[in-house]
Each structure stands twice: as structure tokens, then as C-alpha cells.
Homo-oligomer: A and B are copies of this chain.
Amino acid sequence: MKLATYRDGSRDGQLVVVSRDLRHAHYASATASRLQQVLDDWNFHAPQLEDLSQALNQGRTRHAFAFDPVRCMAPLPRAYQWVDGSAFINHVELVRRARNAEMPASFHTDPLMYQGDSGDMLGPCDDIACADEAFGIDFESEVAVVTGDIAMGASAETALEGIRLVMLANDVSLRNLIPAELAKGFGFFQGKPATAFSPVAVTPDELGAAWQGGRLHLDLESILNGERFGLCNAGPEMTFHFGQLIAHTTRTRRIRAGTIVGGGTVSNKDWTRGCSCIAEKRAIETIEGGTPRTGFMRDGDRIRIEMKDADGASIFGAIDQVVRIPR
């Protein structure tokens, strides 16, 4: 099934079930009004929503309405945890190579993850508000999952079974703030403002054979100001699959229902596929020509992130955001 959260003026919005083709939606209020409620008691609520989803897909509901992504908040407009891995080692390698930094061997066996702010998630069409273009505004096109409860010390295999939903993320990054911030030693803070998510979160069964071994084997498209910036496959080159990222998280703590886990900037070794963030393109330009040519995002710039299935149909709807610098 496919789920979304409609804006209704409240902090958590209204849960809706969306048809497979993203054309229709139906309020889920007979089951639950908020997605977090469903995640809190998944085995009770999910079957009811599956029934509604089936009826909606078969055109059997009486109160369906046209689905409009612009009315969406993030599927979880505020979440209790957001952790993000940098699971595509190719991305890490490129960025380090561009600044002549060594790549520690451990990076191939020990996932790189950071703790993000989950208190204020952006909807798919919300503006990227930023005080200053000089911060170096960048997008990062990612796949993310939402989990149920997972115990401390869970194996990667057990962790995989705890994945409830899959969605897309734009992990907005302020590149020019990051070097000084990381040099302080405590990790990202101001450099990672609010993250945006796709209109729709889907259960893994909606992905069919493309969801395999904890990876989503499909192309993720990034379009910057109307031009394709990247079309990178999110599957085989994901060094650590989502079960491994979750297991890394649970080494010293349990995680609770509604935790969002990101897979990091999708990145492929084949440079003709383009990039899922500007920083990586700048790294390639630096490696090739000594200096980056592509600038970061400016006021009014637009980023669209989308993933299509084998038949060319959008799975999650598109993240479609414009940068707005307050004057």
C-alpha cells in the first residue's frame, strides 16, 4: 500500500491511503488519523489500511478524491528519530579524492552514519528556506526507510524484517558550513537543515522484485532546474544495505517505531549516470579539471527527485522543491 499525510493545519496532518497509480487518495480516518499511530501498532492497523488500499486500487471506494502531492506534508511531518547513512561508498570516495584525503579501509566494513534532526520534516513541495546563499545549498537524493520497533543488538537480517515503509528523501546540506563544523569534532549540526520526503511512503511489497536484499534496485532521478542532473541506480552499489545500517544503529540502543533511516546520496561508479548531489559533481570536476565548475543552489533554483518503476510509473511521487532566501 501507499500512504501519505495531507496538510490540515495540525502538526501531524491527516493520514491518507493513495492508489498505486498516485491518482486517487482516501482518508484513513476510520483506521487512524496519523501515520505514527499506525507505526505504533502496525499489526493492528496495517491490515485495515491494506483493505482500504485494495478497495481504492479497484475503484470500489465511495469517498476517493484526486491525489495532489502539493497538499502533502512529509509522510511523518515530525518523527522521533532520523538517522542517515552514507552507504554508497563511491560517493564518499569521490568527495575524499577531490580533496586528496585518504579513504580509511574501515569505511568498507563500518558504515558511516549520522544523527539528524527529526523534529521538523519538510513536505515534498515545501520551499527550502535558507538564510544565506553563501551557506552552499545542496540537495542529496536518497532512499529512506521507516522502521518498527527493533531490539538492541539486532542482526542485519532481523533488522530488515523491521522495515515498514520505503520513501525518498532530500537530505538538504549546507556545504560551506560543513567543513568547519566537522572540524569541531561533534559531527553535522547547522550543516544539515530540515530534510524533505516524497509525497508517498510505500510498503516494501509495492516494490516487487526491485526490493531485494535490503536494497532498492531502481534508478533515482535528480532534475535540477529542469535538466537531468543524475539517474543513479540505488541498488547494487549500495555498500551497506538497510538491514546493515539499522543493525549498526542498534549496536548500543534499541530503536522504536517510526525511526527513519536514510541510505545516503545514491552514487554510481559510472560517471555518465550523473550525480545525486552537487557536491559529488564538483568533486568529479575537481578530479578531472582541478577545480569545480558547478555552483551550489541559488534563490529560486528547483530540485526534482523521483523514482520510476520498470513501466515508467512514478512510485513515490516527486520531491519538487524551490530554494527561497528570505529578503
Contact = CB atoms under 8 A, between A and B. Distances in A.
B182 A153 contact: no
Contact of A184 (B112, B174, B249): B112
B117 A115 contact: yes
Given A80-B80, A119-B80, A114 B186 contact: yes
Interface stretch (A60-68, A127-135, A198-206, A307-315): A127-135
Interface in A96-131: 104, 106-107, 110, 112-120, 129-131
Given A40-B11, A78-B80, A152-B129, A253 B120 contact: yes
- Kindly report how many copies of this chain are found in the complex they form together: 2
Contacts of A144: none
A224 B265 CA distance: 44
A193 interface: yes
B153 A131 contact: yes
A255 interface: yes
Interface residues of A, number: 52
Contact of A119 (B81, B113, B114, B193): B81
Contacts of A110: 184
Given A80-B80, A186-B187, A188-B187, A252 B130 contact: yes
Contact of A115 (B104, B135, B189): B189
Counting chain B CB atoms within 10 Å of each CB, the highest count among A129, A189, A190 belongs to A189
Contacts of A293: none
A45 interface: no
A249 B191 CA distance: 10
B119 A259 contact: yes
A310 B259 CA distance: 42
A186 B113 contact: yes
Counting chain B CB atoms within 10 Å of each CB, the highest count among A185, A188, A192 belongs to A185
A79 interface: yes
A194 interface: yes
A23 interface: no
A142 to B, nearest CB: 15
Contacts of A135: 252
A115 B188 contact: yes
Contact of A255 (B119, B187, B256): B119
Contacts of A189: 83, 113-115, 187, 248-249
A302 to B, nearest CB: 20
Given A83-B189, A131-B153, A193-B253, 9 more contacts: A86-B186, A106-B184, A112-B184, A114-B187, A119-B255, A119-B256, A182-B186, A187-B188, A189-B249
